[in-house]
Amino acid sequence: MSFPDHDDDSDAHFAREMHDLLEPICLVNFFSDEPTAELEALGFTGYWDGYFAGRAAPLGLVSALVVDAAFYSFAEGEVARHIPAVWRTASPTASYEARSRGCARALRRILEADADPGADTDVDPDPDTDALQIVRVVELLTRCAVSAPVEGRVMYAALRSLPTPADQVTTLWHVANMLREHRGDGHNAVLVSEQIGGTEAHVLNALDQGIHPPHTFGRIHHLPQARLDEVMDGLRGRGIVDEDDRFTDFGRLLKARIEHRTDALAAAPYRALSALERNDLRTLLAPLAAMLEATGSR
| CB contact at 8 A, 190 and 90 | no
Q: What is the pLDDT of residue 295?
A: 84
Q: What is the pLDDT of residue 297?
A: 67
From 165, 123, 109, select the one nearest 142 (Cα to Cα): 165
Q: What is the pLDDT of residue 131?
A: 78
Q: What is the pLDDT of residue 180?
A: 98
Tell me how far apart the alpha carbons of residues 271 and 250 are, in angstroms, rounded to a whole number: 32
Q: What is the pLDDT of residue 132?
A: 83
Output Rg (C-alpha) for the chain, integer angstroms: 20
Q: What is the pLDDT of residue 7?
A: 41
**CA-based angle 173:176:177, to the nearest 5?**
85
Q: What is the pLDDT of residue 115?
A: 38
Q: How many CB atoms lie within 10 A of CB 294?
A: 10
Q: What is the pLDDT of residue 129?
A: 39
The secondary structure element, H or E, covering residue 254 is helix 249-265
Q: What is the pLDDT of residue 250?
A: 98
Low-confidence ranges of the chain (pLDDT < 70): 1-8, 113-130, 297
Q: What is the pLDDT of residue 126?
A: 42
